[in-house]
């Protein structure tokens, strides 16, 4: 997301021109078993900078509680508002699982690999390992879900069955009271299928993901209006995503003292001319080619294969924090609080959520069965960040700018923690003795809405968002139209 390639320009649906998506898992699994058989032996080793991989962070590194046991439930974090409360609905908006680098980044990794092999020199102890590293990333699998990403979703589904055992039931699944919505992008569709597989395994429902046939049992709906709203928001595309002036803080930080130190040290370590280190900017994210590719190559190798490779040794903790801030800075100004249109573009998803909550309440109050006890929506980091921002979550006391890196070292707007692979925003609706209560959870941990408790009354939530519920058009957000005044 912070390094969008040309093939994933936010205004376009990526073309489906690679291998059939149902084959990607098996292609990768075969590669994994034959070429990286030693990965499992060192899988527990964790890079020192694993918590600073921004949107390339593993889910269990954003929440280390899961490192020891990926199916563990943090009981203190999943409590109902009160013992007498019963859950009546859950909406889970989920980012796709761990993916391969996108097409543009596969190309950049190849350039980095060639540069290191041809120009790097000196007495760096692990330089021979960097030069011997074999680039295995291909355009055929670019951007697709990995085996690890499939596991992300299977494990999440299994944890949610434990957390909401009265909602995610075999009966509710078979009676189609659990609905699935996904982005059209293959990694999201495959994440949806993997989530469904996790439910099947937890609930002992026959059927396997690898039948190579459409899953008639648990259908899903492709809805890009909801899950890729950012791609159809004209004002967002014109005034922010394709406007360098809108992200000037990102450019200033890249040219500032913190990033310059990272450039210079990398140049010194590899003995590659400084000018070569800082060439080849990414058109859409303004990040410099070399250090970003090298830094995130460590992240990819770890998240996909479980390997801690020599690429991880190139950056120390302080430099990792700079790289992480650079990523957050781009997301802040392109997807978060930097510009109003960034988050107002998510109005359609906001209304979709609250309309469903209203329907669930009305059905429950009238004595009818709630027709949709769970709604699972699978999208992207670009889906989650604007909606979280619209809700007022993770807003710090000061903005993220080029000149306040030190002041923002412990910022709430931290995408390594908030939006790792398989990140999720959940809204759990409860019927309690004193009324309906709503819990929001991010990555399965409770979050408090601005000025409210962790489990406020639903009516309090509606008062908090009264203006949005009244003036945030659910069909086509007015702020997305260039004709509508800001």
Give the pLDDT score at 278.
63
Q: Could you tell me if 430 and 87 are in contact, meaning their C-beta atoms sit under 8 angstroms apart?
A: yes
pLDDT given for residue 311 in this prediction? 94
Average pLDDT of the segment spanning 99-118: 91
Checking if the pLDDT of 336 tops 80, the result is: yes
pLDDT higher than 90, residue 462: yes
Question: Using CA atoms, how far apart are residues 424 and 95, in angstroms rounded to an integer?
Answer: 6
Q: Of 353, 352, 333, 354, whose CA–CA distance to 343 is shortest?
A: 333
Which domains does the chain show, CATH number per domain? 54-470 (3.40.50.1240)
Residue 122 contacts residue 271 (beta carbons within 8 Å): yes
Alpha-carbon span 437 to 452, nearest angstrom: 12
User: H or E segment at 160?
Assistant: helix 147-163
In which element (H, E) is residue 186 found?
helix 186-203
Q: What is the pLDDT of residue 343?
A: 96
Both tokens of 159, joined, read: 């944890």
- Give, for 440, the enclosing helix (H) or strand (E): strand 435-442
Other beta carbons within 10 angstroms of residue 138's beta carbon come to: 16
Mean pLDDT lowest among 17-31, 205-219, 274-288, 290-304: 17-31
Residue 41's pLDDT is 33
Count of alpha carbons within 13 angstroms of residue 397, beta-carbon side: 4
> 92 near 160, Cβ under 8 Å?
yes
Beta-carbon contacts of residue 399 (< 8 Å; ≥ 6 apart): 332, 337, 338
Task: Please state, in angstroms and rounded to a whole number, the distance separating the CA atoms of residues 207 and 196.
Answer: 10
> What's the mean pLDDT in 371-378?
98
Which pLDDT value is given to residue 76? 86
466: left (phi over 0), alpha (psi -120 to 50) or beta: alpha
Task: Give the model's pLDDT for residue 273.
Answer: 85
Residue 413 near residue 328, CB atoms below 8 Å:
yes
pLDDT for 287: 39
The two tokens of residue 103 are: 């097409």
pLDDT over 70 percentage in the chain: 84
pLDDT of 218 reads: 80
Query: Which of 25-29, 324-328, 389-393 has the weakest average pLDDT?
Result: 25-29
Q: What pLDDT is stored for residue 214 in this prediction?
A: 44
Burial of 145 (0-12, 13-18, 19+ CB in 10 A): buried
The span from the CA of 338 to the CA of 401, in Å, is 9
**Residue found under tokens 């055992």:** 165
**385 against 276, higher pLDDT:** 385
Structure confidence by residue, pLDDT tens digits, 226-268: 999 999 999 999 999 999 999 999 999 999 999 999 988 998 9
Q: What is the CA radius of gyration of the chain?
A: 22
pLDDT-derived band at 376, boundaries 50, 70, 90: very high
The per-residue pLDDT for 38 is 37
| H helix or E strand, kind and range, residue 388 | helix 381-390
- What are the tens digits of pLDDT across the range 7-41? 333 333 344 444 444 444 444 444 433 333 333 33
Q: Which pLDDT does position 283 carry in this prediction?
A: 42
Q: Which of 9, 18, 36, 96 is catalytic?
A: 96
pLDDT greater than 90 at residue 195: yes
Q: Cα separations (Å) of 390 from 53, 109, 251, 437?
A: 24, 35, 25, 20
Rounded to an integer, what distance in angstroms lies between the CA atom of residue 99 and that of residue 141?
Answer: 9
The rounded distance, in Å, linking the Cα atoms of 122 and 270 is 7
pLDDT above 70: residue 196: yes
What pLDDT was estimated at residue 474? 56
Residue 39: per-residue pLDDT:
35
Q: Which residues pair with 426 in a beta bridge?
A: 92, 441
| pLDDT number for residue 289 | 60
- Give the side-chain half-sphere CA count within 13 A for 219: 7
Q: Is 351 a catalytic residue?
A: no
Residue 436, classed as helix, strand or coil, is strand
């Amino acid at each position: 997301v912070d390094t969008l390639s040309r093939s994933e320009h936010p205004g376009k649906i990526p073309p489906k021109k690679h291998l059939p998506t149902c084959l990607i898992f098996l292609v990768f699994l075969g590669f994994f078993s034959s070429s990286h058989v030693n990965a499992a032996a060192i899988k527990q080793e964790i890079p020192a900078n694993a918590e600073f991989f921004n949107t390339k962070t593993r889910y269990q590194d954003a929440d280390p509680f899961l490192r020891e046991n990926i199916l563990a439930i943090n009981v203190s974090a999943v409590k109902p508002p009160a013992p007498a409360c019963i859950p009546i609905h859950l909406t889970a908006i989920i980012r796709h699982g761990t993916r391969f680098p996108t097409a543009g980044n596969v190309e950049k990794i190849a350039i980095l690999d060639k540069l290191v092999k041809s120009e790097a020199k000196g007495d760096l102890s692990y330089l021979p390992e960097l030069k011997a590293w074999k680039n295995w990333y291909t355009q055929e699998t670019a951007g697709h879900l990995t085996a690890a990403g499939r596991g992300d979703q299977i494990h999440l589904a299994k944890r949610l069955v434990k957390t909401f055992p009265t909602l995610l039931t075999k009966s509710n699944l078979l009676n189609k009271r659990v609905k699935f919505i996904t982005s059209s992008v293959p990694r999201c569709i495959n994440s949806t299928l993997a989530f469904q597989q996790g439910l099947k395994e937890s609930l002992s429902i026959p059927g396997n993901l690898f039948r190579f046939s459409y899953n008639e049992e648990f259908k899903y709906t492709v809805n890009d209006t909801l899950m890729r709203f950012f791609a159809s928001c004209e004002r967002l595309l014109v005034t922010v995503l394709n406007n360098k002036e809108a992200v000037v803080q990102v450019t200033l930080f890249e040219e500032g003292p913190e990033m310059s130190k990272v450039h210079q040290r990398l140049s010194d370590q590899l003995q590659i001319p400084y000018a070569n280190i800082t060439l080849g900017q990414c058109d859409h994210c303004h990040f410099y080619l070399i250090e970003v590719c090298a830094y995130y190559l460590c992240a990819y190798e770890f998240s996909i294969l479980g390997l801690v490779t020599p690429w991880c040794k190139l950056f120390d903790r302080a430099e990792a924090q700079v790289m992480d801030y650079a990523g957050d800075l781009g997301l802040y100004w392109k997807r978060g609080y930097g510009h109003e249109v960034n988050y107002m573009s998510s109005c359609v998803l906001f209304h979709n959520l609250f309309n469903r909550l209203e329907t669930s309440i009305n059905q429950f109050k009238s004595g009818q069965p709630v027709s949709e006890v769970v709604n699972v929506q699978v999208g992207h980091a670009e889906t989650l960040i604007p909606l979280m921002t619209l809700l007022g979550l993770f807003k710090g006391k000061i903005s993220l700018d080029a000149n306040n890196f030190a002041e923002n070292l412990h910022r709430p707007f931290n995408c390594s923690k908030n939006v790792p692979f398989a990140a999720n925003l959940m809204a759990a609706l409860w019927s309690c003795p004193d009324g309906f209560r709503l819990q929001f959870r991010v990555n399965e941990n409770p979050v408090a809405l601005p000025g409210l408790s962790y489990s406020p009354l639903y009516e309090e939530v509606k008062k908090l968002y009264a203006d949005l519920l009244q003036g945030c058009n659910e069909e086509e957000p007015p702020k997305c139209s260039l004709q509508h005044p800001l």
